[in-house]
Chains A and B, each alone.
Chain A
Amino acid sequence: MSRRIDTSLLPEMVKYGASDIDACFNCGSCTAICPLADNDAIFPRRLIRYAQLGMKDRLAASKDVWMCYYCGECSATCPRAAEPGEFMAAARRFAIAQYDVTGLAKLLYKSDWFNVLFTIFLTVLFSLFMISFERPAPHAQLALFTFIPEIYIRTIALTVAGIAALIGMVGLVRMIRGILREGNLSFTPGGHQRLNWPTALWNTLVVEVLGQTRYRDDECEEEQATPWPVRKWFTHATILYGFLGLFGATALDFLFKPVGSYVPLYYPMRLLGTISGILLMYGTAAALIKRLQKRDKATTYSHASDWILLILLWLAGLTGFGLELADYALLPVTWGYTMLVIHVSLVLDLFALLPISKFAHIVYRAVALFLYNLRPVEQTEESGLAPAKV
């Protein structure tokens, strides 16, 4: 079946941030140099071609956009300076916007100003919500959940998380259906083929997400020559571990710790939170500095959505430490309350925006990697545990 050409997609991709992609003449140097492209994931050239011809459905339903970690090798070697790496980033934004049912993601990605203003608006909204309740005058001693009753925080947090989860689930379903359709794949392949689900899960969650293997495979020579604490995969890993640690500490607190009770610094959940917070702040600070310095191709063309995610995470970490200091009476009480309002608002921002912001990659990339790793049993056994690579 032939497909009709649609010339409106390429200008659309420019709005998503692929500002130099007009220069592309399809030579394929980008795919040739890409350390991650293989027979099962051919990019960036093919995806750029989809954009040029207007194959919206193909582009949005390609798991390949999530196979790229933006090392920038393609952009550095592109003979036309078409910045294919930046196109891949734009394609991920486009994909998130396509999965999003609310239509908000489109608006956020296509206008930097709207993105910034909307985030500030959301933060202010959450803050106002929290201080809008009748509350007793501040005590001399810090009593956070007297200042804002815990039930309010819990209610709004669960509401925001619920809505976000709903939007995210719809997005995930759309994504998975698209990938299966365009890739001509099925979870129930015919014949005697059985899919190797455990291996795919292991490869995705342990090897890729926790091990950051592809991120490390993606390193170019210059990157390998940089000291490990500022390597991209390492800073990314600290952000990821920090976030997961804080998420876990908060969840455990919520389940086991009496609300508002005092615990010493060595209390396990507190200790986990503190260490995770340090990792998160270190990672986000390093990433922000790299973007400010424009150290390489991947950090040169920062989009509003890149800045916002890092800044929200960094500020959430900062205010978290503020709260911790206040908790040990190292900061004045009023500071403590201010920190609480800002910290909770920022965390709510992060969760509210999770399915439509850059943060969404934590889910979409993981699922795309899972689908990439999901192979028939015969194939995975042949090549050992890891999926066949070319």
Chain B
Amino acid sequence: MPEDLEPRTSENAPEEEEPRIGVYVCHCGGNISDVVNCEKVAATLARLPNVVVGRTHMFMCSDPGQSTVQEDIRKLGVNRVVIGACSPFLHEATFRRAVSQVGLNPYLYYHVGIREQDSWVHHSTPEAATEKAIRLMAAAVAKARGLEPLDPIRLSAEKHGLVVGGGVAGLRSALDMARVGLQVTLVEKSPFIGGRMARLHRIFPTDDDAHAILDGLIEKVAGHPNIKIYTRAEVTGFKGYIGNFQVTIRQDSRGFEGDVQHLDQAVAACPIEVPDEHNYGLTTRTAIIRPHESAYPPVPAIDWEHCTLCGACVKAIGGAGIQLQNQPETYELTVGAIVIATGFRPYEPRTGEFGYGEIPQVVTLPQLERLLAADGPTGGKLELLGGPVRRVAMIHCVGSRQIEGVHEPQADGQINDYCSRVCCTATLRAANEIRERFPETEVFDLYQDIRTYGRGHEEYYQRASKNRVLFLRYLGEEPPDVAKTEGDTYPVTVKVKDYLTNGEEMEVPVDMVVLAVGMMPTHIESLSKMLKVSPGTDRFLLEAHPKLRPVETSVPGIVLSGTAQGPMNIQESSAAGSAAAAKAMALLGQGTIQLDPFVAHVNPELCQGSGECVAVCPYEGAIELRTTIEKGKEVRRAVVTPANCKGCGTCVGACPHGAIDLLGWTLGQYEAMLDALVMDIPVLEEA
């Protein structure tokens, strides 16, 4: 174990000095003092043993408030500080900094939340609230007597980031990290980077060519000396902690090497035919996955899942450049931070859902994007089953905003009750393109609510009504019905109870039905289990706090980028990618990482090596038994790895010998607090 990982109390601490406690009660501009009698609290506490001063202030967090504390430390020799104010989430860090500025160890400061925990919730009973404040702060004083100086844990950090996923968010994160000098390893599961965006055609809110934008980004990533890209690769092993993750990567062979001559002949010779995922199954491909225009890397790949190793391709081109054998390679590397950019997959409708899979005229929005793309299966012409499309019905919220009891649950028994956010604008963008490029084609838009929330999104809605896209509104409980029609000029009829026309049932005869499918997370269950990052109820990965820690997971050093975290458009994914990179850079930039020292600490003299602590510890690698030589005897002792310890205290309770304590939250401190909470406070009786 590196030297700097040892948990310890502060070396600068003066030995066994008499506690001199300063107590401060904040008015919070009336937030507290309107209910709690702050003066009484301060005066009462000032009479407790070891308390040398009790003061109040209108705003303790203001500069004058902070200097009051600093003055008392300097002039009165205050060496423990207790402040009753807002929640410690807001200003604990402020006051720790304030006391350390005048030389006091920051962990000799204790913060009591008498606003959220007292004045705000007891505003109708001011006297009881005052007593509660006195008791809470008396307990804090009791704890303060036993506070010991601590040093934060400092970890050395590997200046190397791992990005899992090579879509637009992952590429963005990789590039941003590489630009500040971090080493970056990018791991992509599929044979080409670019992700879902590579299959899009034009993108809102600017109608830009998706490829023009993506290719620029790929070029920068691929050409950056700090970035190493592994395609067809997955993370298969993981251990360690922030700053020092040991990761195993497994990479499949491509099957091709370098520039392949006569690729067309090889493809023609291949007897395999499977749906082409690049065109979302609208076309088929062979077992040779050809790079699409502007794909990176530009080398084809063999689809090992479907290849029968028949060798026809090798024969067709004389063998040059083809290696018909998958020889996976594994790589081990140490990284300081991990960016999860595993993206999303479009919702796949059930067979029969709005006629999908049964009526060939029913397609999904990603499929429509391929049909509109110049490099798509129809060369950009709006054709389906060989004929032109005269009328299109587009149905919103397919696989999103599902209602229990109305929609059939997914394979995992859950429904997608969330809004996928992107589909409204994406659908309207496509609707406008159809109306503008093929004015003779009519578009009907069946929606629940139009949620064009972003800058420039509402314009698509306005443009659509100007383009005479006809909107019909259905209720979530009464989704439209899609059915085949015989003997009509139009092959499919969509029936919808239109709530823009007082719930009247309308029939829309069309040639094509487009389902605006929502977003679902990719299948990353094994990865998230391995990394111990947890998904939310919607199965997307969860951030630690939506506002205070927006891209962090609950595992330090692992951050989220893009749609792995939830439905986002490209603009938001890119922003999230940059945010994830910034977070990783903040963690790794210094080369060291500082953590609060509130971790378990084993007293080696009391530890008998029972191993109970290891058995109950919920965190991997936080505590383990090690065999050491003590007085010539081999003994087993529990050892804490502070970087992995979350300070939950489970081991403290489990230890049969009372050998473990939590630094900053010792059992002795708890006992003192409890005693103080229930003791008789003479002043209270007098009052």
Contact = CB atoms under 8 A, between A and B. Distances in A.
Interface of A: 1-5, 7, 10, 22-26, 46, 49-50, 52-53, 80
Nearest to B442: A7
A166 B505 CA distance: 38
A46 B508 CA distance: 19
A49 B506 CA distance: 12
Interface string B420-444: 0000000000000000000000101
Nearest to B468: A22
B563 to A, nearest CB: 30
Interface string B456-498: 0000011001101011010000000000000000000001001
Select the residue from B498, B500, B509 with max chain A CB neighbours within 10 A: B500
B80 to A, nearest CB: 62
A37 B646 CA distance: 66
Nearest to A1: B505
A1 B461 CA distance: 30
B465 A53 contact: no
Nearest to A3: B506
B507 A2 contact: yes
A49 B465 CA distance: 13
A4 B444 CA distance: 13
B468 to A, nearest CB: 6
Contacts of A5: 444, 470, 506-509
A52 B470 contact: yes
Interface in B499-515: 500-502, 504-509
Given A10-B468, A23-B465, A53-B501, 12 more contacts: A2-B504, A3-B507, A5-B508, A22-B465, A23-B462, A26-B471, A26-B500, A46-B501, A49-B501, A50-B501, A52-B470, A80-B465
B505 A3 contact: yes
Contacts of B462: 23, 25, 80
Contact of A49 (B444, B466, B500, B509): B500
A1 B444 CA distance: 20
Contacts of A49: 500-501
A349 to B, nearest CB: 38
A110 B336 CA distance: 74
Contacts of A80: 462, 465
A50 B504 CA distance: 11
A23 B500 CA distance: 15
Contacts, number: 49
Given A22-B465, A46-B502, A53 B507 contact: no
A281 B336 CA distance: 91
Contacts of B471: 25-26
Interface residues of B, number: 21
A4 B501 contact: no
Contact of B466 (A23, A26, A46, A53): A23
Label chain A's interface by main secondary structure.
mixed
A92 B509 CA distance: 29
A25 B461 contact: yes
B390 to A, nearest CB: 11
A38 to B, nearest CB: 16
A7 B470 contact: yes
Contacts of A24: 465
A39 B504 CA distance: 18
B470 A53 contact: yes
Contacts of B465: 22-25, 80
B504 A3 contact: yes
Contacts of B508: 5
A120 to B, nearest CB: 36
Max chain A Cβ within 10 angstroms of own Cβ: one of B444, B465, B471: B465
A22 B466 contact: yes
A53 B468 CA distance: 11
B468 A2 contact: no
Contacts of A53: 470, 498, 501, 506
Nearest to B496: A2
Given A10-B468, A22-B468, A53-B470, A4 B505 contact: no
A2 B506 contact: yes
Chain B CB within 10 Å, residue with most, of A3, A5, A26, A53: A5
A54 to B, nearest CB: 9
Contacts of B470: 5, 7, 52-53
B524 to A, nearest CB: 40
A7 B445 CA distance: 13
12 contacts: A2-B504, A3-B505, A4-B507, A5-B470, A7-B442, A23-B462, A24-B465, A25-B462, A26-B473, A26-B500, A53-B501, A53-B506
A80 B464 CA distance: 13
B486 to A, nearest CB: 16
Contacts of B466: 22-23
Shortest Cβ-Cβ A-B pairs, 7 listed: A2-B505, A4-B507, A26-B500, A2-B507, A49-B501, A5-B508, A25-B465
A142 to B, nearest CB: 61
A295 to B, nearest CB: 28
A377 B32 CA distance: 67
A190 to B, nearest CB: 25
A153 B138 CA distance: 112
A29 to B, nearest CB: 14
A46 B501 CA distance: 7
Residue of A22, A25, A80 ringed by the most chain B CB atoms within 10 A:
A25
B629 to A, nearest CB: 81
A22 B471 CA distance: 12
Contacts of A2: 495, 504-507
Interface in B246-281: none
A25 to B, nearest CB: 5
Contacts of A25: 461-462, 465, 471
A46 B498 CA distance: 12
A22 B468 CA distance: 6
A240 to B, nearest CB: 35
A1 to B, nearest CB: 8
A7 B462 CA distance: 19
Contacts of B442: 7
Nearest to A52: B470
A173 B471 CA distance: 35
A227 B181 CA distance: 77
